[in-house]
Chain A
């Protein structure tokens, strides 16, 4: 189906169902219950799941396949965002042209950066991409203020009147898709549950599914195989008559376009952009997502992005009062002790939790969550797993002779 083998198609189908039903799945706890704070089914967070999912999928095409570790990918996301917001300020508030511009500009910038950076490999490549991204950040922050809005960034203001959108005088434009506003939501009450179906989320989710589909096709294509060959043995590749440079550059540009798309979607959802989006920590974040989920796997980056964004939102919202509620059943002394122990890891300390989880993954699970899942699956059905793997990756597990 759709040019995919059965296994990949099933995966795509599962992701599609999960994405479309996310408002239900992510809201398992009734409103007002003690566990409601673990619900993630609100539009803002769901949008971030899919948008960062796209970003990580794109990053994985570069890092997962070719092994080139870029530390400057946020720059393409930022450039995409700026392109999109200018499109909306000047031309139309419809999100489609803005998103297309974001992809184009993300790709173009990646072409320039990649053309230069890919002359080197290994740590030198990482430093070069980092240098380019930091330069973009510094310029967006200072000299390019007329284009980027400097420190305050850009928003859609009452004074903006895009030529193709009929706005009343002084009306602040809102992003829409042929009239359907991104912010509009349909609320559904079922018993104590409240489910939110947000237009913006579904548009972003559709883009994510398309991105995911394209990435599966790339992974299974001759091009994808060549990228894995780059990672495995560049010398042999060259002596086999293949020019590795255009392959890596193409992968770099594709992942830049993915980042641009993510940046454009961010603007479409929340019409503003600031230079901090390009800071190197933002580049580091996508690295974390990809590794955490499982580098080089299809579904890993999406999982990683979801996990980090979930942690960011949920763990950072937990505070000492909530902890006291949880441990209220315990004797006072133990309760206080537990709260004191956990305190540094929650609220503003969620980065600490993230850092520890990330280190544990790199040390014990180099294949990320996907490898973790496979191991757990392995404990349950050893015979089955071997079968599944053989058909999955076309790779048997026969020992060397």
Chain B
């Protein structure tokens, strides 16, 4: 029992990332009808927003500290980050330590802008072209974006730790009445899950309860009719693209402490996220979220030693296997709507 709970928990963080990316993909697909292969790149750009902020906050000037000597007896040169100057050393140090959560604020405007620029600059011209063209051009864009990041940040993963207060783990097992030390869970993963849940809820609430969201939902159901009503649906769809970019970007920001970001993380997640979207049902938002968590948890179960002993290699292929079975038995995915991409 404790092992099962542990696996479910372990699946949650990856599942959260899948769900967030798949949610954005579905928003874009549902509203704009575009299959966006560059969505993984948005996730990656989000992660590198965190890296950038960490570096910006860490940028420093060198001063010569006469009170300290290095081993040769010369005065020691010390790097002093500017934030230490501005906020005092203690406050400054904690600002740097909290750079990942702070990056959320930093990433929102950047991702908004990136999403807006992408839609207006490129995607807009592809609404009328075949899906294959959309896939190809966004695929090309994904390559370009990932190479640009590589040119600036290099090919190696860049460690971006969580704030010290939030690192470490806690004994979840003891809290819910199991033996101590059976279910140890890192704080940050729990935070990631909570954050993902919050973002997902916010997106759904936004779509459900605002006029803007209502128009978008109507547009998803029947674009032409909404156009006839005299509502400028395109403007709202651009906005929706920016929101999807922000969702993917935030997923990336918060993921950095779990896995150090590198330039190809976007593509790694993209392939799986597409599988997630298709399993959930193209164009279904709840489907994307459900499938994201489901596949994340399944993957984590398949990684259990007992399961691998039974079916070797299953952890590597479980997601694809599930996708194949689902696509063949339920062509529209778990919660897909009728008539979406069936030609």
Q: Report A's interface with B, CB cutoff 8 A.
A: 67, 69, 116, 119-124, 126-128, 130-132, 134-135, 138-139, 141-144, 280-281, 284, 287, 291, 344, 348-349, 351-352, 354-356, 358-359, 362-363, 366
Contacts and interface: CB of A to CB of B under 8 A. Distances in A.
Interface of B: 35, 122, 125, 129, 131-133, 135-137, 139-141, 143-144, 147-148, 150-151, 155, 267, 271, 274-275, 278, 282, 312-313, 316-317, 320-321, 323-324, 327-328, 331, 341-343
Given A116-B324, A119-B328, 17 more contacts: A69-B135, A120-B327, A124-B278, A124-B282, A130-B275, A131-B275, A131-B324, A132-B320, A132-B324, A134-B271, A139-B313, A139-B317, A142-B316, A352-B151, A355-B141, A356-B144, A359-B137
Given A123-B282, A135-B317, A362 B271 contact: no
6 contacts: A127-B275, A128-B323, A128-B327, A138-B317, A351-B143, A352-B143
Looking at chain B's contact residues, the main secondary structure is: helix
Describe A's contact surface by its main secondary structure.
Answer: helix
A364 to B, nearest CB: 10
Contact of A138 (B132, B151, B316, B324): B316
Contacts of B135: 69, 123, 126
Contacts of B313: 138-139, 142-144
B274 A127 contact: yes
B140 A355 contact: yes
A356 B141 CA distance: 8
Nearest to B336: A124
Contact of A352 (B136, B147, B312, B317): B147
B324 A344 contact: no
A2 B129 CA distance: 39
A67 B141 contact: no
A67 to B, nearest CB: 7
Given A124-B327, A134-B320, A135-B321, A359 B140 contact: yes
B317 A349 contact: no
Nearest to A134: B320
Given A130-B271, A354-B143, A143 B312 contact: yes
A138 B299 CA distance: 14
B3 to A, nearest CB: 22
Nearest to B277: A127
Nearest to B130: A67
A366 B155 CA distance: 32
Contacts of A349: 147, 150-151
B328 A359 contact: no
Instruction: Give the 9 A-B residue pairs with the shortest CB-CB distance, closest first.
Output: A143-B313, A355-B143, A138-B316, A352-B147, A359-B140, A131-B320, A355-B144, A344-B151, A358-B140
A123 B133 CA distance: 12
A280 B122 CA distance: 25
Nearest to A131: B320
Nearest to A353: B147
Nearest to B29: A123
A356 B122 CA distance: 13
Q: Which of A120, A121, A127, A281 has the most CB of B within 10 A?
A: A127
B143 A358 contact: yes
B141 A359 contact: yes
Given A116-B324, A124-B327, A362 B133 contact: yes
B257 to A, nearest CB: 26
A45 to B, nearest CB: 22
Contacts of B132: 67, 69
